[in-house]
A = this chain, B = another copy of it.
Amino acid sequence: MSAPLRIAIAGLGTVGVGTVRLLAEHAPTVAARCGRPIEIVAVSARDRLRNRGCDVSMATWYDDPVTMAREADADVVVELIGGSDGVARDTVLAAIGAGRHVVTANKALLAIHGVDLARAAEAQSVHLAYEAAVAGGIPIVKALREGLAGNQVRRVYGILNGTCNYILTAMGETGRDFEDVLGEAQHLGYAEADPSFDVDGIDTGHKLALLASVAFGRPVDFGAVYMEGIRRITAMDITFAEELGYRIKLLGVAEETEHGILQRVHPCMVSQGRPIAAVDGVFNAVVVEGDYVDRSMLEGRGAGAGPTASAVVADLMDLAAGRGAPTFGVPADRLVGSPAATIDTHVGAYYVRLMVVDRPGVFADIATALRDAQVSMESILQRGHDPGETVPVVMTFHRTVEAAAKRALERIARIDAVVEPPCMIRIEAF
């Protein structure tokens, strides 16, 4: 058996500790499977004295991860600090600069600086691996980069944020509203104190940008990702969706369109019969549509110590076994900056819920607004009405271009009897 792969771990939060534990517990099988042991030679974290319930006494302690990345006698630096800039980025750059491979779980860093880091890694002939950055329990980066690499991908989409999926699932099961369920999720540790990254779709956007880069061979293009979160989804919308035969999921979708690659993150209505509609709670799922494979879906836990550590260790085992691939599937210089489409060019069906004061003439006003915007209605649903009271009116629009749907909504919003901004949710045909 060859010499050990020596690794240095920066960051000992839940994922770091999970990684240390996995490597200790499964040392013999890990070594058998990748042909050599993996040895932790250095660690760095904020508080040296904290009891983390795992043994890192065999490793040299560094107070500063950047110094560790530069100086430790390691083949690989594992970056588990997080954040798109600052110390995480400095650590990764220092590791690459010192000729060490990098394994990271940091989606924000890669979504924003991915191409530069890939280029830096290639210049030093080291690998930059990040399976743990996207849907930890699902080996999706490897699947796109290797397992399905023979395909021309037409679309890749998925549930990429467990917090949002947990909240939407709980809202559906209990009939409770967003704020209420969010509070519970925060209490249970499923959501951060500042939930914005999750519930506003930013985390999903980061992950989508990485998947889209590998799938379409383009430079990571987080700036082109359209993002909309789940804050405005109400229990009422979930009930109406159910009645119409849909489930509401926050999806990240990257697809080839006639206007270029469109990357979009927003709540979607998906048919109840589709496999992705059944992915509930903190689970993630990613669907790849390719020209030869047709449709392949991978599902698993998106976060947590165990699944993320599993992904980190898989990357380490690849490095130990000498397996590698360019960061985004092809060398950075061969990524092609094909055109990016904007959300206005999206074509699809729409669910629209209005809160309307029920009085004569309202429907005529709505109909006129739709006609003027050249949008055609597929169905309309009004439940219970008390003259003079505010009631929900739900419509679905036939497939139309987003710009037209938006025009229709603007006109509808101006109708006096429509008392709240309309709630619009895109309906997906897949």
A interface, CB within 8 angstroms of B = 18, 22, 26, 29-30, 32-34, 131, 136-139, 142-143, 145-152, 217, 273, 275, 278-279, 290-301, 304, 306-307, 309-311, 313-314, 317-318, 321-326, 329-331, 334
Contact A313–B275 (Cβ < 8 Å): no
A29, A143, A275, A293, most chain B CB atoms within 10 A: A293
Contact A146–B298 (Cβ < 8 Å): no
Extra inter-chain contacts (6) besides given A143-B147, A293-B306, CB under 8 Å = A139-B142, A149-B313, A149-B317, A275-B299, A296-B298, A298-B299
Q: How long is the Cα–Cα vector from A32 to B275 in the complex, in angstroms?
A: 33
Distance in angstroms from A321 CB to nearest chain B CB is: 7
List of B residues within 8 angstroms of A142 by Cβ: 139, 142-143, 146-147
Cβ-neighbour of A293 out of B146, B310, B325, B331 (below 8 A): B310
Residue ID in chain B nearest A301 by CB atoms = B294
List of B residues within 8 angstroms of A146 by Cβ: 139, 142, 314, 317-318, 323
What are 17 A-B pairs at a CB distance below 8 A? A33-B326, A33-B329, A33-B330, A131-B147, A138-B296, A142-B146, A142-B147, A149-B313, A150-B309, A275-B299, A292-B307, A292-B309, A293-B300, A293-B301, A296-B301, A299-B299, A322-B322
Contact A139–B150 (Cβ < 8 Å): no
Contact B310–A301 (Cβ < 8 Å): no
List of B residues within 8 angstroms of A295 by Cβ: 137, 300-301
A149, A291, A318, most chain B CB atoms within 10 A: A149
Distance in angstroms from A28 CB to nearest chain B CB is: 10
Q: How long is the Cα–Cα vector from A22 to B317 in the complex, in angstroms?
A: 30
Contact B310–A290 (Cβ < 8 Å): yes
List of B residues within 8 angstroms of A150 by Cβ: 22, 26, 30, 309-310, 313-314, 317
Residue ID in chain B nearest A147 by CB atoms = B139
Contact A18–B314 (Cβ < 8 Å): no
List of B residues within 8 angstroms of A329 by Cβ: 33
Contact B300–A299 (Cβ < 8 Å): no
Contact A217–B32 (Cβ < 8 Å): yes
Cβ-neighbour of A29 out of B152, B300, B301, B318 (below 8 A): B152
Residue ID in chain B nearest A38 by CB atoms = B150
Distance in angstroms from A40 CB to nearest chain B CB is: 14
Residue ID in chain B nearest A139 by CB atoms = B147
Contact A294–B137 (Cβ < 8 Å): yes
A138, A147, A311, most chain B CB atoms within 10 A: A147
List of B residues within 8 angstroms of A331 by Cβ: 32
Contact A300–B300 (Cβ < 8 Å): no
Q: How long is the Cα–Cα vector from A313 to B148 in the complex, in angstroms?
A: 9
List of B residues within 8 angstroms of A313 by Cβ: 149-150, 292
Q: How long is the Cα–Cα vector from A324 to B146 in the complex, in angstroms?
A: 12
Q: How long is the Cα–Cα vector from A18 to B334 in the complex, in angstroms?
A: 27
A32 with B334, Cβ < 8 A, contacts A139-B147, A317-B146 known: yes
Q: How long is the Cα–Cα vector from A32 to B333 in the complex, in angstroms?
A: 11
3 nearest interchain CB pairs? A139-B147, A150-B313, A296-B300
List of B residues within 8 angstroms of A296 by Cβ: 137-139, 298-301
Residue ID in chain B nearest A334 by CB atoms = B32
Distance in angstroms from A392 CB to nearest chain B CB is: 29
Q: How long is the Cα–Cα vector from A18 to B294 in the complex, in angstroms?
A: 13
A306 with B292, Cβ < 8 A, contacts A139-B147, A278-B275, A317-B150 known: yes
Q: How long is the Cα–Cα vector from A30 to B334 in the complex, in angstroms?
A: 12
Contact A293–B307 (Cβ < 8 Å): yes
Q: How long is the Cα–Cα vector from A273 to B272 in the complex, in angstroms?
A: 12
Cβ-neighbour of A300 out of B273, B297, B322 (below 8 A): B297
List of B residues within 8 angstroms of A137 by Cβ: 293-296
Q: How long is the Cα–Cα vector from A317 to B217 in the complex, in angstroms?
A: 16
Contact A148–B325 (Cβ < 8 Å): no
List of B residues within 8 angstroms of A325 by Cβ: 33, 321, 323
